[in-house]
Amino acid sequence: MKIKTFIFISSFLFLQNSYAAPTIKLCIDGNCKTSVRLVIHDDKWATIKDVFIEPAKTAYDERKLILKSLPLIEKISLNILAERSVKKYSAEDLHDRMSNKDQALNYKAYISLLLDQNLIRHHFLRKTERRSSWSGMKEYIVVIQDHRSGELYALDANKTDFGETPEMQYLKSWKNEKTVKKLKNKAIDIIGNSKTQFKNHVE
């Protein structure tokens, strides 16, 4: 009887988790001094799932989907937050008030959400990295790792405006830079398996 009860409860909890609306915790107001938890309802979440409607067959393809989905999650999340804002901030205002650390932690939350929903299968999250810029300010980035190759990639929102695609590059390249450099092409065009291919697209 106890075993049957345990199985029933476990099944119920599994169904609860499967059908629960995705939630996300966002950092706001500089260096994550304030955080807020948001629920992304089905109609909004469906637009994010549509990006992954055809599962990526390779890590290369998945990195393109990740870069395509992140600005969408950011727009949806900050618009939800703006609707709840007592001071009537717009989504863009909320984005502009965030520090680089806030943005990095939020990108980490976005990717965690995609992982929790089984939309990302070729990568996993690593520890957030930071460095000092030429001005002495701390710069934070999110790191993901390719399951098969073990290659580490840096997702950098430091120079990204609201709703824009973040920059992605090899983590070792990011660590070797003395200043953050702009890529010649959009990040979505340069995330390849060949190190030579990537190097040719960096100033």
Closest CA to 103 of 42, 155, 177, 51: 155
Range of the domain at 102: 24-199
Residue 124: the pLDDT is 94
pTM for the structure as a whole:
0.76
Question: What is the residue-level pLDDT of the chain in tens, covering all 203 positions?
Answer: 444 443 333 333 333 344 567 898 988 777 777 788 999 999 999 999 999 999 899 999 999 999 999 999 999 999 998 988 767 889 998 888 888 889 999 999 999 999 999 999 999 999 988 877 666 678 889 999 999 999 999 998 776 888 889 899 999 998 887 544 444 444 544 455 434 333 333 32
Closest CA to 203 of 194, 192, 190, 193: 190
* Residues 84, 138: Cα–Cα separation, whole Å: 30
- Give domain status of residue 1, yes or no: no
- Give domain status of residue 152, yes or no: yes
- Give domain status of residue 12, yes or no: no
- Give domain status of residue 54, yes or no: yes
- Give domain status of residue 120, yes or no: yes
Q: How many domains is the chain built from? A: 1
Helices (H), the chain: 2-19, 42-49, 59-84, 91-96, 100-116, 171-176, 195-199
Residue 188: the pLDDT is 46
- Give domain status of residue 11, yes or no: no
Q: What sign does the dihedral 21-48-159-170 (CA atoms) show? A: positive
- Give domain status of residue 119, yes or no: yes
Q: What angle do CA 81, 104, 46 make, to 5 degrees?
A: 50
169: which residues sit within 8 A by CB, 6+ positions away? 153, 154, 156, 183, 190, 198, 202
Closest CA to 183 of 171, 168, 193: 168
Strand partners, 142: 155
Residue 86: the pLDDT is 64
- Give domain status of residue 48, yes or no: yes
